[in-house]
Amino acid sequence: MPQLLSLIVPFYNEEDAVGIFAASVCPVLEAIPDTQWEIICVDDGSRDATLPRLLELAAAEPRIRVVELSRNFGKEAALTAGLEAARGDAVIPIDADLQDPPELIPAMVAAWRGGAEVVAGRRTDRSTDTAMKRGTASLFYRLNRYISNIELPENVGDFRLMDRAVVEALKRLPERQRFMKGLFAWLGFKTAIIDYTRTPRTAGESKFSGFKLWNFALEGFTSFSTTPLKIWTYLGALGAVIALLYAVFIMLRTLIFGNAVPGYASIFVAVTFFGSVQLISIGVLGEYIGRIYVETKQRPIYLVRKFHNF
């Protein structure tokens, strides 16, 4: 029995990438021995001609299947939709813009057949990303190592081969807010790493920028660590100790030198400082409460309008 390989590709406003993607991926898949393949294209509510182009491909090639989402749910939700629709013995999420080189897929399959349950691609060279993006990414990983109990392997993205067992495990994680990198890391399993160079986008432009990346980082921290909640206990304790020492100092000074009535500046500084600290800590609480709120609603992660070629 040949094994089935499923590719999962999220598409959001990628009309120019659709054709190039299929043209470069299909030959690679055909050349892998003893495998059948399917490509699950998830249209994440694109507003351009992405969907009609995908359907055109699907009409000509029954192994290209299309999951049409009802609106834009974001990449993580689109990947989840693809994972749930995939039937392969091994599943590989891959970006539509060919920034994850399809040429790596045969090597991933070989490592999987050699016994690895996860074969992750690691970017050795991110020179195609902006200096800003590289800098903030590295800061994120470093900070995450301090505050989180799950170590995120650096420069490893969503491009990875997963055995069926791993996919089934991933499907059991029910959270609505899906920080995929973290979820992958949380799963464990026997993992092999393959290095590759990240190439520039083939067409279109990146959907992740500035504020979106910041929110992504917050998601990462709050999904896998409660440290940001706990530091306030210690900061508060430290502040209380300092305040107490200062009170003792003032009392002694008054007893020894009498009361000279200054102190406007120190009171003002203390009031504004602790006011801001309290606002920040309330903000951190808010981040977590907001996430609890979203999780308790138990809404589906994505909605499908239609399955094509299933």
What is the footprint of ligand UDP within residues 150-179 (CB under 6 A)? none
99 or 309, CB closer to Mg ion? Answer: 99
Q: Are 92 and 162 in contact (CB under 8 A)?
A: yes
Residue 248 or 294: the one with the smaller Cβ distance to ligand UDP is 294
207 binds, among Mg ion, ligand UDP, none (CB under 5 to 8 A by kind): ligand UDP
HSE on the CB side for 32, CA within 13 Å?
25
Burial class (CB in 10 A: 0-12, 13-18, 19+), 255: exposed
Minimal distance, residue 168 CB to Mg ion, in Å: 28
Query: Shortest approach of ligand UDP to residue 50 CB, angstroms?
Result: 8
Q: Closer to ligand UDP by CB, 10 or 88: give it.
A: 10
Instruction: Decide which of Mg ion, ligand UDP, none touches 182; Cβ closer than 5 to 8 Å per partner kind.
Output: none
Q: How far is the CB of 232 from ligand UDP (least distance, A)?
A: 33
Q: Which does 11 bind (CB under 5 to 8 A by kind): ligand UDP, Mg ion, none?
A: ligand UDP
**Minimum distance, C-beta of residue 87 to ligand UDP, in the bound complex (Å):** 21
The full DSSP string for the chain is: -PEEEEEEEEESS-HHHHHHHHHHHHHHHHTSTTEEEEEEEEE-S-SSTHHHHHHHHHHH-TTEEEEEESS---HHHHHHHHHHH---SEEEE--TTS-S-GGGHHHHHHHHHTT-SEEEEEEEE-TTS-HHHHHHHHHHHHHHHHH-SSPPPTTEEEEEEEEHHHHHHHHT---SS--HHHHHHHH---EEEEEEEPPPPSSS--S--HHHHHHHHHHHHHHH--HHHHHHHHHHHHHHHHHHHHHHHHHHHHHHH------HHHHHHHHHHHHHHHHHHHHHHHHHHHHHHHHHTT--S--EEEEE--
Identify which range of 171-179, 206-214, 258-266, 292-300 contacts ligand UDP by CB under 6 A: 206-214
Is 99 a binding residue for ligand UDP by CB under 6 A? The answer is: yes
| Whether the Cβ atoms of residue 88 and residue 164 lie closer than 8 Å to each other | yes
| 138/254 with CB nearer ligand UDP | 138
By a kind-dependent CB cut-off of 5 to 8 A, residue 15 interacts, out of Mg ion, ligand UDP, none, with: none
Using DSSP bridges, classify how beta strands 35-43 and 90-93 pair: parallel, antiparallel or unpaired. unpaired
C-beta closer to ligand UDP: residue 10 or 220: 10
In this complex, which beta carbon is closest to ligand UDP, that of residue 88 or of residue 157?
A: 157
Scanning residues 25 to 44, which ones bind ligand UDP (CB under 6 A)? 44
7 binds, among Mg ion, ligand UDP, none (CB under 5 to 8 A by kind): none
In the list 207, 216, 218, 270, the residue contacting ligand UDP (rule: CB under 6 A) is 207
Q: Is 10 in the site for ligand UDP (CB under 6 A)?
A: yes
HSE (CB half, 13 Å, CA atoms) of 176? 15
From residue 69 to residue 98, the character string flagging contacts with ligand UDP as x (rule: CB under 6 A) and all else as - is: ---x-xx--x----------------xxx-
Residue ranges in contact with Mg ion by CB under 5 A: 97, 99
Q: Which is nearer to ligand UDP, 14 or 117 (CB)?
A: 14
Binding positions for ligand UDP, rule: CB under 6 A: 10-12, 14, 44, 72, 74-75, 78, 95-97, 99, 206-208
